Structure 1
Amino acid sequence: MSEKQPECSIAIQVLPKVEGEEVIRVVDEVIAYLKSSGLPVFVGPFETTVEGPFDQLMEMVKECQKICIRAGAPGVSSYVKIAYNPSVGVWSIDKKVTKHHQ
């Protein structure tokens, strides 16, 4: 492959313990944070995927929890999927989804 693959990819779904459409506001704050990283981000209807360096992504997972709390949620549950392969990398977001969004 000519293009360097990312070493890690995460998919995160945060479920802040708030009522009604307040969930959207809190989740939007998390998504804004993920996008501000400058890393490739793909927002889906149930989870957001980010790819990049393993250590940075693990810190971002931690920060997502704190963002929910600072945004007013008394608690948060999250589902996180991690693909990590430092020696050869993982498939990029583009490789996995571009053909489905043309």
Structure 2
Amino acid sequence: MAKTKQAGNEVFVAFQVIPRVREGNNFEIVDKAIEVVKQAGVPFQVGAMETTMKGDLDQLLDIAKHAQQVCLDNGAVEVITNIKIHNKTPDATDTFCTYDRGVTPANHMFVDNGST
């Protein structure tokens, strides 16, 4: 199947890594996964249960894959990664589930991270 891409089509990707370690603290490994996102230069928001990023889908999926690999590289014996993707067309701007209505308590915490 051929890839199609709309110009300027930003998506939201939220992901959660759940590393299992034999020794040590799995939260330290999760912190290393979050560092991957911070170093990637995309807008992001770290929440209690997942990290949400905004940008190009392929780039964001690559970041999530890299974050999962970093967990393995730092002592996890296995990692479960949950990924959610929110994509929309230009016709979605007047629908219920849009995130571009301005700053709200839910989206004010995105870190710009120099991507714009």
Shorter-chain TM-score: which interval? 0.7 to 0.9
Match of 2:69 among 58, 66, 70: 66
Q: Which structure has more helix as a fraction of its residues? A: 1
User: How is 1:18-57 mapped onto 2 (pairs within 5 angstroms)?
Assistant: 18=21, 22-57=25-60
Normalising by structure 1, report the TM-score.
0.77
Match of 1:97 among 107, 111, 115: 107
Q: Please list the CA deviations of residues 60-94 of structure 1 after superposition, one character each: whole Å capped at 9, or x if unmatched.
A: 12112111100110110011111123x438635x5
Tell me the amino acid that sits aligned with residue 49 of structure 2.
F
Gaps of 5+ in 2: 1-7, 93-97, 110-116
Please say if residues 6 and 91 of structure 1, whose CA atoms lie closer than 8 Å, have aligned partners that are also in contact: no
Mark the structure with the bigger radius of gyration: 2
Gaps of 5+ in 1: none
CA-based RMSD: 2.7
Change (3 A) 1:59 1:30: same
Change (3 A) 1:19 1:57: same
User: Once superposed, which parts of structure 1, at least 4 consecutive aligned residues long, lie more than 6 Å away?
Assistant: none
Normalising by structure 2, report the TM-score.
0.68
Distance 1:18 1:55 in 2: 29
Cα distance, 1:98 vs. partner? 2.3
Aligned length: 94
